[in-house]
């Protein structure tokens, strides 16, 4: 038996002497915040996700640090890949968006980037590995976003293991090359934030308190055209920001010879 | 201008680098600019189901905290995933 205890929560907040609440969170947390706002709680939101997949704000704090960590890992894998003639698969975070994968992939010099926004095939990935060998490059770095949609030939496989491992196995079976997989996981969520993330986070925090002071409840802070502004939480949630498959970032990556396996 | 004397701060979902910088900014602005009290609510909205976990955050609590993503020295208010939605659970 599950019961609604939101009344208790409102009572507890009042009992603690809390006049207004700053809630920091992603889409899910903002949905809950909205429920409380509708019940009369005075609150403001601060968007938080390392995946950068929120439409309401240009960028979120934590994303840059995650990209920085993933780029560093790709840099380090280059040496082994090159000396041992291997295909290196690196799985990065990003939920259903490929932001971390494409930015870290371009920054770290990946040769193939697989993202949820662009359908790919293992055959095309292996073709790219073979083509690099023709040019004397006996190694390939493949960045895989955790949220990729598996190509039809892999649909029968269950996702019991990280997708990076599944892609690695598939490349090995088809190309008969030596493949190694690194799943970066939660190291991308932690560590010392980049100066940009610290500054953005500080601007968000100050702006959130200013919103409360002005009585602008039910809103969340965001970065818009380089300035900190605010948006209604109700309008901000539920809209995912994906990588545009025909956008400038993807075209830039293609221009420097990066394959998306398509 | 609303009558505010005390604000709460809570975070939900996964960890993100920069989270402590937000908390630092909120605590410092509330205290230094507006003269309000700040209550740190741990464990997302769970922290409001168990209010005894909450505690006041002072300037000392947040000094130097922005550099790393480690939780604060005393009871951390850094991100812990929501385990429940107090408002929505009723309908399920």
- Predicted local confidence at residue B81, as pLDDT: 33
Out of A36, A205, A215, whose CB is closest to B21? A205
- Predicted local confidence at residue A26, as pLDDT: 86
Categorize the per-residue pLDDT at B88 as very low, low, confident or very high, splitting at 50, 70 and 90: very low
- Predicted local confidence at residue B67, as pLDDT: 56
Average pLDDT over residues A146-170: 90
Percent of chain A with pLDDT over 70: 99
Distance to chain A for B33, nearest Cα, Å: 9
Categorize the per-residue pLDDT at A6 as very low, low, confident or very high, splitting at 50, 70 and 90: confident
Out of A2, A5, A194, whose CB is closest to B49? A5
For the cut 50, the answer to whether the pLDDT of residue B90 exceeds it is no
For the cut 80, the answer to whether the pLDDT of residue A143 exceeds it is yes
More confident residue, A182 or B73: A182
Q: What is the pLDDT of residues B41-84, one digit of tens each?
A: 988 888 888 888 898 999 988 876 655 544 443 333 443 333 34
Distance to chain B for A261, nearest Cα, Å: 30
Categorize the per-residue pLDDT at B86 as very low, low, confident or very high, splitting at 50, 70 and 90: very low
For the cut 60, the answer to whether the pLDDT of residue A185 exceeds it is yes
The DSSP-derived string for chain A is -----HHHHHHHHHHTT-SEEEEEE-HHHHHHHHHHHHTT--EEEEE--TT--BTTSS--TTHHHHHHHHHHHHHHHHHHHHHHT-EEEEEE--TT--HHHHHHHHHHT-SEEE-TTS---HHHHHHHHHHHHHTT---EEEEEETTPPPPGGGTTS-TTS-HHHHHHHHHHHHH---EEEEE-GGGGG-SPPPHHHHHHHHHHHHHHHHHHHTT-TTEEEEEETTEEEEEEHHHHTT-B----TTSHHHHHHHHTT-B---
- Predicted local confidence at residue B87, as pLDDT: 42
- Give this prediction's pTM: 0.90
């Amino acid at each position: 038996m599950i019961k609604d205890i939101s009344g208790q929560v409102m009572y507890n907040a009042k009992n603690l002497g809390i006049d207004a609440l700053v809630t920091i969170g992603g889409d899910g947390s903002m949905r809950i915040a909205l429920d409380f706002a509708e019940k009369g709680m005075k609150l403001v939101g601060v968007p938080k996700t390392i995946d950068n997949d929120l439409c309401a704000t240009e960028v979120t704090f934590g994303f840059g640090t995650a990209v920085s960590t993933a780029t560093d890992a790709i840099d380090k894998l280059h040496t082994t890949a090159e000396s041992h003639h291997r295909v290196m698969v690196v799985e990065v975070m990003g939920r259903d968006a490929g932001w971390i994968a494409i930015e870290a992939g371009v920054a770290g010099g990946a040769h193939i980037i697989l993202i949820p926004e662009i359908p790919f095939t293992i055959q095309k990935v292996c073709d790219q590995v073979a083509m690099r060998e023709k040019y004397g490059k006996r190694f390939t770095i493949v960045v895989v976003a955790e949220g990729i949609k598996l190509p039809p030939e892999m649909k029968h496989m269950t996702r019991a293991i990280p997708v990076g491992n599944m892609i690695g196995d598939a490349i090995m079976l088809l190309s008969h090359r030596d493949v190694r997989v690194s799943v970066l996981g939660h190291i991308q969520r932690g560590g010392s934030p980049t100066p940009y993330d610290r500054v953005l986070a500080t601007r968000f925090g100050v702006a959130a308190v200013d919103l409360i002071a002005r009585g602008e409840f039910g809103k969340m802070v965001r970065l818009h055209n380089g300035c900190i502004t605010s948006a209604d939480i109700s309008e901000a949630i539920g809209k995912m920001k994906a990588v545009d498959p025909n956008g400038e970032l993807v075209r830039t990556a293609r221009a420097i010879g990066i394959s998306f396996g398509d | 201008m609303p009558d505010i004397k005390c604000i709460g701060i809570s975070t939900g979902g996964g960890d993100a680098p920069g989270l402590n910088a937000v908390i630092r900014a909120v605590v410092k602005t509330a205290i230094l600019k507006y003269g309000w009290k700040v209550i740190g609510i741990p464990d997302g909205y769970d922290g409001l189901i168990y209010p005894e976990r909450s505690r006041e955050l002072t300037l000392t609590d947040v000094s130097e905290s922005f550099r790393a993503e480690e939780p604060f020295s005393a009871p951390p208010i850094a991100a812990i995933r929501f385990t429940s939605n107090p408002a929505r659970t009723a309908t399920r």
